[in-house]
Amino acid sequence: MPLLNPAQTGVTLPGPAATLLYDDWYPALRTARLRRGKLAKALLLDIPLVLGRKSDGSVFAMRDSCPHRGIPLSAGWFDGQHVTCRYHGWEFEPCGGQCQAIPSLSSHDRLDPTRIFATAYPCEERDGHAWVYVAGPGTGRKGEGVAEKPVPELAKFGARYRSAFLTADLPCDVDHGIIGLMDPAHGPFVHQAWWWRTRGSIREKTKRFEPIPEGFRMSAHAPSGNSAPYKLLGVYGKPVETTIDFVLPNRRTEVIRCGDKWFSSLTTVTPVTASTCRIDVVAAWNVFYHVPLVTPIARFFGAKFVRQDQVTMIQQAEGLRHNPSLMLIDDADKPAKWYFALKQARLEASHSPVSESRPGALEIKHPLDGPVELHWRS
Ligand code: FES
Ligand SMILES: [Fe+2]
């Protein structure tokens, strides 16, 4: 079952829009799309971007709009050094956005082209993603907060591993994408399969959570006894332990360790527009390193899993178009409540005048005072 692209999802009217979190890193596209001398387009938080890779290997992301008359820069040329606008030929250095030549200037002109800048965003490559730092509107061209926030990266525990990547467009806003990601109660219904869960395998669970900066952690625990992939790890005869973190704005990381064997994943739900999002999963592992075909098999099961979520969210988007009032219940929706509280706290912190003069005051009020236990059946 292949994943669907947005046109195939069949959802025509946009659903409700989410408030977006700025001043953070988001994956814009896969760097495999950045071919030598070519420009690639992406939409991120409703911002049209043009991305590329310079001859020296560095990646860049600019607003896909010429500061002269607004024509998309992606319509122009890229020689590995400069992006040239196709309308009047202004040349830009794409990492910093500085204009370096305006062909129409004559000996009578005093205009210094280097004082003109196209909008360029901090852009870094990690795990095959081009991560773009999206500063809040009106907070300066480069985003002052960028230095304090490390570029997100998948945790790896050794040099030898296999890896895989999956993506799916979701026709719902980023909030629904994220709470769907952290929702423990949909597993037995959406992901019904012999190798994962069945309704018959539902059992009561107790999970311990603890606060971490801008997020929460499902404390290290032995994974669900009722799912086959985890049972497979039993062949190593060592205790299996898994830790799952969620951190604003959109990142879920899961690390499973079993002696010196490990599996690690980083899942992000990224706003493409205010009312649509995309889920990306990067994973690496050294478990079953020598088993032939393990990567295609992992990709197959991973794709099936993500596709099940995608199909459910396409159906959900159908319902959300009519703006129904919704509910969150304890304890199964508690992580979703924490997400909304963390997001709200961050929005308030970024708007408070105190935080602008004292960046340290950006410490946000955390919805968890300390460790708690949640109970649900799944
Ligand atoms: S619109 Fe780009 S150079 Fe004029
Ligand atoms: Fe799911």
Between CA 148 and CA 212 the distance in angstroms is 17
Q: Which one of the ligands is nearest to 103 CA?
A: 1
| Residue 111 reports pLDDT greater than 70 | yes
Q: Is 133 within 8 Å of 146 (Cβ atoms)? A: yes
Q: How far is the CA of 260 from the centre of ligand 2 (A)?
A: 28
Tokens 């009032």 -> residue:
325
Mean of per-residue pLDDT scores for the chain? 88
SS3 237: coil
Q: How far is CA 85 from CA 98, 100, 220, in A?
A: 13, 12, 52
Q: Angle between the 294-320 and 174-181 helix axes, to the nearest 10 degrees?
A: 130
Q: Which helix (H) or strand (E) holds 29?
A: strand 24-30
The CA dihedral of 313, 225, 239, 222, to the nearest 10 degrees, is 60
Q: Could you tell me the distance, in angstroms and rounded to a whole number, from the CA of residue 304 to the centre of ligand 2? A: 10
249 preceded by a cis bond (ω within 30 of 0): yes
Q: How far does residue 70's CA lie from ligand 1's centre (Å)?
A: 7
Q: How many residues does the chain have?
A: 378
With both helix axes pointing from N to C terminus, report the angle between 174-181 and 334-351 in degrees, rounded to the nearest 10. 140
Which of the ligands is closest to the CA of residue 267? 2
Residues measured by CB to lie within 5 Å of ligand 2, the ion:
309
More confident residue, 146 or 32: 32
- Pocket lining: 99 vs ligand 1, CB cutoff 6 Å: no
H-run or E-run covering 231: helix 228-233
188 touches 202 (CB < 8 A): yes
Tokens encoding 32: 């495999």
Whole-structure pTM value = 0.90
For residue 322, report the distance from its CA to the centre of ligand 2, in Å: 23
Contacts of 61 (CB under 8 A, 6+ apart): 28, 42, 49, 50, 51, 120, 121, 123, 130, 132
Question: Per the omega criterion (within 30 degrees of 0), is the bond before 331 cis?
Answer: yes
Is the pLDDT confidence value at 361 over 60? no
Domain architecture of the chain: domains with CATH: 32-121 (2.102.10.10), 162-338+372-377 (3.90.380.10)
Rounded to an integer, what distance in angstroms lies between the CA atom of residue 110 and that of residue 179?
55
How many degrees, rounded to 5, is the angle at CA 81 between CA 105 and CA 52? 120
Residues 52-107: tens digit of each pLDDT = 999 999 999 999 999 999 999 999 999 999 999 999 999 999 999 999 999 999 99
Which has more pLDDT, 237 or 31?
31
Lowest mean pLDDT among 65-79, 302-316, 343-357: 343-357
